Chain A
Amino acid sequence: MDVLYSSRPLWAVLVSMIAAFLILATGEKNRNIRESWTIMAAVAKFLIVFSMVPVILQGKVIEYTIVTFYPGLLLQFRIDAFGMLFGVIASSLWIATSFYSIGYVRGLNEHAQTRYFFAFAMCLSSTIGIAFSANLLTFLVFYEILTIATYPLVIHKESKEGIMGGRKYLAYTLTAGCVLLFAIAMIYHMTGTLDFKAGGFMADSGGSSAVLIMLFAMLIFGFGVKAGLMPMHEWLPTAMVAPTPVSALLHAVAVVKAGVFGCLRVILFVFGPGLLHDLGVWLIMAYIASFTIVVAGFLALGQDHLKRRLAFSTINNLAMIILGAALLTKSSMTGGIIHMANHAFMKITLFFCAGALHVKAHKDYVSQLDGIGRQMPLTMGAFAIAAIGLSGIPPMSGFISKWFLCLGALEANQIIFLFVFMTSAMLDVAFFFPIIYNSFFKKPLDDVTPHFDEAPMFMVIPLVITALLSIVFGIVPDAFFRFFSMTSLAVQNILGVG
């Protein structure tokens, strides 16, 4: 494989970190300058990341070593197709989120905005670091930074619930971090390397199957906490006290996606399909993921708080991605990986809508949404598109991923997982469609303005764009960002070796 040495990955990480400190230095007094840093960094970051896409699609990898700690132990970036996919998702959505955040925090006149934008930029910096990391150590470094950088966002409201949510978040993620640290140290001890390798490198480690299974469990636990894999999902709904753009970022862009990304890295790039098949853990993994899918779906039904409902839907979808990877077939992997992108665009739309409703109409509960579609047709229209997409109905992008996932279940000769995907799709319909129906067709509640009265344009435009994109990706999966090419390239790499 051709390797291209370039410092662009480093700049992609640094640009938002530099912006973070510029934001801090600018402070509350010059709000417009401060926000312009965010926007500039977001655009710059996206351009840097996107400029590397053609290289990756030629089948090359881009490498950059920051420092070497010890032989075989280095802080290094190596961008392959899979990492690039995540990088593009995160950096492109950051632009949307930045505009949206500005509308949101100004619309609500939030306090501590500087801290908010600072933490946001740091989050993105570490997310790109995660996407581009070449080995488990680098991954862990950025993963931990992400944990900490998200904390100020979770507790942003500084209310009692916010602080409790923050504590819970830290308790889960820091414990996970400790477990990861141990597992990674263990892997380093066994193999002397931590570099991700398509198809896995643990097969040559010579560890007994008990040890390998334990390590696998620890790694999946460590990353699964952020990915909201049951039973480690509890922090996610609690963290919904955070402002909506944060939830959007948490769910669609950075944090949980980092967890899922980590799980997939472990399954496909550390252990590898071959070894997992031999160990037989793939099936257990698949059952855990299926359990999460179904239970999260049912729990979502019971939530009246819109954001909590979305949170459970996230848990449900993330488990779907993991299930796709765990099935270890070509189609299922393709479906899982492409769903990372598709889910990101759809889920961020949903959260943006929830935020718009909160800012404009001060509505947080599903039961309050009757007739709101007349007041905010754009918002609810986008909501409808994304919700339909998540349910897997063509022509939205969700259909593509579901299609591949179902194919994968068939390829693996596991009909039961086909039913899991079907059940999940039906649950999606069950918990999203009433919202769409109520908002458009029910008689408006008294406090709903029956004529067009949308949220600020800063918020509406991003959410309309992301909604439209999810239609576009449904029709042309390879449009703009080349997600589909990257996915198939990543799958080829994994299966080509394994």
Chain B
Amino acid sequence: MAEQFAALIIVVPLIASLFVPVIGWWKKRLCYPWVVAVLIIPLISSLSILNTVMTTGKFSYRLAGWAPPWGIEYVLDHLSAFVLVIVSFISLMVAIYSKKSVQDNLPEKTVPFYTLFLLLVTGLMGIVITGDVFNLFVFLEISALSCYALIAIGEEGAPMAAFNYIIIGTIGACFYLLGIGYLYIATGSLNMADLANILPPLYDSKVILVAFAFFTVGLAVKAGLFPMHTWLPDAYCTAPSAVSALIAPLMTKVAAYVMIRLMFTVFQPHFSIEIVPVFTILGWLAVMAIVWGGIKALAQTDLKRMLVYVVVAEVGYIVIGVSVANRLGLTGAILHIMNDAVMMACLFLVTGAILYKTGTREIHQLSHLNKKMPFTMAAFTITALSMVGIPPACGFFSKWYLILGTIEAGQWFWAAALLCSSLINAVLFFRVIECAYLKPMEPAYAHDGGETIHEEIQRDEAPFTMLVPIVIMAAGVILLGIFSGKIISSVIQFAVPASF
């Protein structure tokens, strides 16, 4: 049964996306329930897959019955099943959330929005599930193309940001494609498992090295790793709320997933660690990403733009975990893929809700939000504390494993970067919390809300469809922290390559 679910995960949203225009042509308001209903199926399927993987181990699904390595194979192991659950869960939450945001911001674009939304989700899931490097490229481009279009329908300046993203994203994808090309020249295979068998004798070949280099650069572009992150802030910031809430948590994480997949499954860990010094370079880039992202985030007055730079820094976290190349570090990286996805989703959802209700994203204008939107702000605060690394929220635990990993690798500067980043996050988020919870400090801001200070501030909470995903995410932040041990012992420790 679980094998069929593997196909359903891709096929259902793909086919359903084709029906969105039909349904929208008939009755526009039915698009939303349709998308939400459709996205429940991948969530159930991925949960069932995870369950199967946990009980019986990894399995694969042959598309159209073709045997690998000729046919395309979907491979479900602990890592992919785990990431699938994250992707399907967050996309469902964002879909639920999108109702008011789309009605409000994009009333005329409802149909294309939901079509592209489903396509994007299809692409992301495809990237995770596939066991074929070329098929992965196709899914990468499906998700990227729908993402370009989704960003372009955003606010002022979005088309320009989207265009830049198209150019740079295409370069990244092309590099990845070139990597496949070289790999194919050397091995004659595109199947990941097959490649993993063929490659080891060829590790000295320059062709393999070139392929590996292209992969790394291409994926670094896609993941928005410093200094290839330049497209990211504008694109994520100008996108509509519901879109950034989907792409900010997922796009970069999925690219990081591909990085882990290629470096530790297709290539064997000892190749990536010993033969190529790639991890030293990546690790330092990640450090720069953390520092640069943090500094740029400090300079922002716009909440969403600040978060976008935090995304840049968070990519650094995951890459550091990958770069230390030991069991603890990689555990931290995989754990952080999940934790960060949930935290980022929550923060962007909250930002969207604030924008929807107050019409502003300026941090200084957020005063009295604790009275107006108590639940939303409580969720924000919980997530912010998690970002700072306060236990028992989940951010603490991924940070803990990442730091253990850096210590084991003897990379003190990387550990220092991670610690500094917690402090930078503390400054960033407490600034917002201060503005939202406390009275305006400077009289200069008083004139914005000078009259309202003395009045009783009315509760004006975000609509129900927005609030539910936000609260679920915030609860998730705490629960994932408390149960992180369980998650690690039942899933992640099997997702880390056994050779560590």
For the complex, what is the distance from the CA of A69 to the CA of B493, rounded to whole Å? 12
A69–B484 CB distance below 8 A = yes
B331 and chain A: residue at smallest CB distance? A70
Query: When the two chains form their complex, are residues A185 and B485 in contact, meaning their CB atoms are under 8 A apart?
Result: no
The 0/1 profile, CB within 8 Å of A marked 1, for residues 404-431 of chain B is: 1001100000010001101100100010
How far, in Å, is B326 (CB) from chain A's closest CB? 11
In the bound complex, residues from chain B placing their C-beta under 8 Å from that of A68 are 485, 489
B485 and A67 within 8 A (CB)? yes
A55-78 vs B, CB cutoff 8 Å, 1 = contact: the mask equals 000000000000111100111000
Taken together as a complex, chains A and B put the C-alpha atoms of A163 and B367 apart, in Å, by 14
Q: Report the Cα distance A175→B426, complex, angstroms.
A: 10
Contact residues in B for A141 (Cβ distance below 8 Å): 391-392, 396
> Within 8 Å of chain B (Cβ to Cβ): is A145?
yes
Query: In the docked arrangement, what's the CA distance between A486 and B483, Å?
Result: 35
Inside 8 A of B404's CB, which chain A residues have their CB? 185, 188-189
* Given A70-B485, A174-B422, A182-B419, also A144-B408 (CB < 8 A): no
Asked if B445 is an interface residue, CB under 8 A from chain A, the answer is no
Q: Is the CB of B390 within 8 A of A178?
A: no
Within the assembled complex, what's the spacing in Å between the Cα atoms of A166 and B430?
10
Measured CA separation A185–B426 after assembly (Å): 20
Q: Which residue of A lies closest to B407 (CB)?
A: A189
Q: In chain B, what residue has the closest Cβ to A144? A: B390
| Shortest Cβ distance from residue A187 to the other chain B in the assembled complex, whole angstroms | 10
* B contact residues around A163 at 8 Å (CB): 434, 438, 441
B102, CB-defined interface residue at 8 Å: no
- Tell me if A175 and B423 are in contact (CB < 8 A): yes
Q: Are A174 and B423 CB-contacts (below 8 A) given A141-B391, A188-B404? A: yes
Chain B residue nearest to A68 (CB atoms) is: B485
Whether, in the assembled complex, B403 has its beta carbon less than 8 Å from a beta carbon of chain A, the answer is yes
Q: Could you tell me the distance between the alpha carbons of A6 and B499 in the complex, rounded to whole angstroms?
A: 40
Q: Which residues on the A side are within 8 Å of B482 (C-beta)?
A: 67
- Give 9 A-B pairs besides A181-B422, A182-B407 with Cβ atoms closer than 8 angstroms: A68-B489, A69-B397, A141-B391, A145-B390, A145-B391, A145-B392, A160-B441, A178-B422, A185-B404
The 5 A-B residue pairs whose C-beta atoms are closest, nearest first, are A69-B485, A141-B391, A178-B419, A185-B403, A189-B407
CB proximity to B under 8 Å, residues A142-169? 144-145, 147-148, 155, 158, 160, 163, 166-167
Q: Identify which of A75, A140, A155, A174 gathers the most chain B CB atoms within 10 Å of its CB.
A: A174
Q: In the complex, A147→B438 CA distance in Å? A: 18
Secondary structure of the A side of the interface?
helix
| Shortest Cβ gap from A241 to chain B (Å) | 13
A180-206, CB under 8 A of B: which get 1 and which 0? Answer: 011001101100000000000000000
A170: interface (CB < 8 Å): yes
Cβ contacts A to B, 9 pairs, < 8 Å: A67-B482, A67-B483, A144-B390, A144-B396, A145-B390, A163-B438, A174-B388, A181-B400, A185-B415
Interfacial residues of chain B within 266-294, with CB under 8 A of chain A in the complex: none
Instruction: Name B420's closest neighbour in chain A (CB-CB).
Output: A178
B-contact bits for A115-142, CB 8 A (1 contact / 0 none):
0000000000000000000000000110
A residues less than 8 Å from B423 (CB atoms): 174-175, 178
Asked if A186 and B407 make an inter-chain contact with CB atoms under 8 angstroms apart, the answer reads yes
Chain A CB within 8 A of B399 CB: yes
Question: When chains A and B are docked, how far (Å) is the Cα of A141 from the Cα of B482?
Answer: 11
Instruction: Give the chain B neighbours of A189 by CB distance below 8 A.
Output: 404, 407-408
How far is the CB of A167 from the nearest CB of chain B, in Å? 7
Bound-complex Cα distance A182 to B407 (A): 9
Question: B206 contacts which chain A residues (CB < 8 A)?
Answer: none
CB distance from B391 to the nearest CB of A (A): 4
Determine the chain B residues whose CB is within 8 A of the CB of A182 once the complex forms. 403, 407, 415, 419
Tell me the complex Cα distance, A67–B396, Å: 15
- B residues less than 8 Å from A178 (CB atoms): 389, 419-420, 422-423
A189 to B484, CA, bound (A): 19
**Residues in B neighbouring A177, C-beta threshold 8 A:** 389, 422
- B residues neighboring A (CB under 8 Å): 385, 388-392, 396-397, 399-400, 403-404, 407-408, 415, 419-420, 422-423, 426, 430, 434, 438-439, 441, 482-486, 488-489
CB distance from B142 to the nearest CB of A (A): 37
Q: Least Cβ distance of A23 to chain B in Å?
A: 14
Complex Cα distance A294/B397, Å? 40
CB B135 to nearest CB in A, in angstroms, measures: 35
Would you call A147 and B390 a contact (CB within 8 A)?
A: yes
Given the known inter-chain contacts A155-B438, A163-B438, A163-B441, please indicate yes or no for A67 contacting B391, CB distance below 8 A: no
Known contacts A70-B485, A174-B426; is-contact A181 B403 (Cβ 8 Å):
yes
Q: How far is the CA of A189 from the CA of B485 in the complex (A)?
A: 18
Are the CB atoms of B488 and A69 closer together than 8 Å? yes
Pairwise interchain contact B422-A144, C-beta atoms closer than 8 A:
no
In the bound complex, do residue A67 and residue B438 qualify as a contact, i.e. CB atoms below 8 Å apart?
no
- Residue of A at shortest CB range from B425? A174
A158 to B482, CA, bound (A): 32
Interface centre among B388, B397, B488, by most A CB within 10 Å? B388
B residues less than 8 Å from A181 (CB atoms)? 389, 399-400, 403, 419, 422
**What's the Cα separation between A68 and B490 when bound, in Å?**
12
Contacts of B484 on A, CB cut-off 8 Å? Answer: 69
Bound Cα distance A140, B403 (Å): 15
A155: chain B residues at CB < 8 Å are: 434, 438
Expressed in whole angstroms, the minimum distance between the Cβ of A156 and any Cβ of chain B is 10
Contacts of B396 in A (CB 8 A): 141, 144
Who on chain B is nearest to A111 by CB? Answer: B439
Known: A69-B488, A163-B438. A185 touches B407 (CB 8 A): yes
Q: Decide: A148 and B419 in contact? CB cutoff 8 A.
A: no
A232 to B190, CA, bound (A): 59
CB neighbours of B488 from chain A (8 A): 69-70
Residues of B within 8 A of A174 (CB): 388, 422-423, 426
Q: Give Cα A147–Cα B385 distance, bound, in whole angstroms.
A: 11
> From B406, which residue of chain A is reached at the shortest CB distance?
A185
Contact of A67 (CB < 8 Å), options: B399, B400, B486: B486
Chain B residues with CB under 8 Å of A69's CB are 397, 484-485, 488
- Least CB distance, A70 to chain B, in whole angstroms: 6
B494 CB to nearest chain A CB (Å): 14
C-alpha spacing A186/B410, complex, angstroms: 10
Q: What residues of chain A lie closer than 8 Å to B483, measured between beta carbons?
A: 67
With CB as the reference atom, state the residue of chain A lying closest to B374: A24
Report A59-104 residues with CB < 8 Å from chain B CB.
67-70, 73-75
Contact A170:B426 (CB < 8 A) given known A140-B391, A141-B391: yes
Chain A residue at minimum C-beta to C-beta distance from B378: A24
Contact in complex: A185, B400 (CB < 8 Å): yes
Tell me the complex Cα distance, A177–B396, Å.
11
Closest chain-B Cβ to A217's Cβ sits at a distance in Å of 15
Contacts of A170 in B (CB 8 A): 426, 430
What residues of chain A lie closer than 8 Å to B485, measured between beta carbons? 67-70, 73-74
Question: Which residues of chain B are near A160, meaning CB under 8 Å?
Answer: 441
Which residues of the other chain, A, contact B486 by a CB distance below 8 angstroms? 67
Q: Of A141, A147, A178, which is in contact with the most chain B CB atoms at under 10 Å from its CB? A: A178
Q: Could you tell me the distance between the alpha carbons of A481 and B447 in the complex, rounded to whole angstroms?
A: 56
Minimal Cβ-Cβ distance residue in B for A149? B390
CB neighbours (8 Å) of B430 from chain A are 167, 170
- Measured CA separation A148–B433 after assembly (Å): 12
With A and B bound together, what is the CA distance between A177 and B425 in angstroms? 13
Measured in the bound complex, the distance between the Cα atoms of B483 and A158 in whole Å is: 36
Query: In the bound complex, how far is the Cα of B81 from the Cα of A153, in angstroms?
Result: 44
Query: A179 CA to B399 CA in the complex, in Å?
Result: 13
CB distance from A66 to the nearest CB of B (A): 8
Shortest Cβ gap from A147 to chain B (Å): 7
Q: Which residues of chain B have C-beta atoms less than 8 A from A185's C-beta?
A: 400, 403-404, 407, 415
Alpha-carbon distance A167/B427, docked complex (angstroms): 9
A144: chain B residues at CB < 8 Å are 389-391, 396
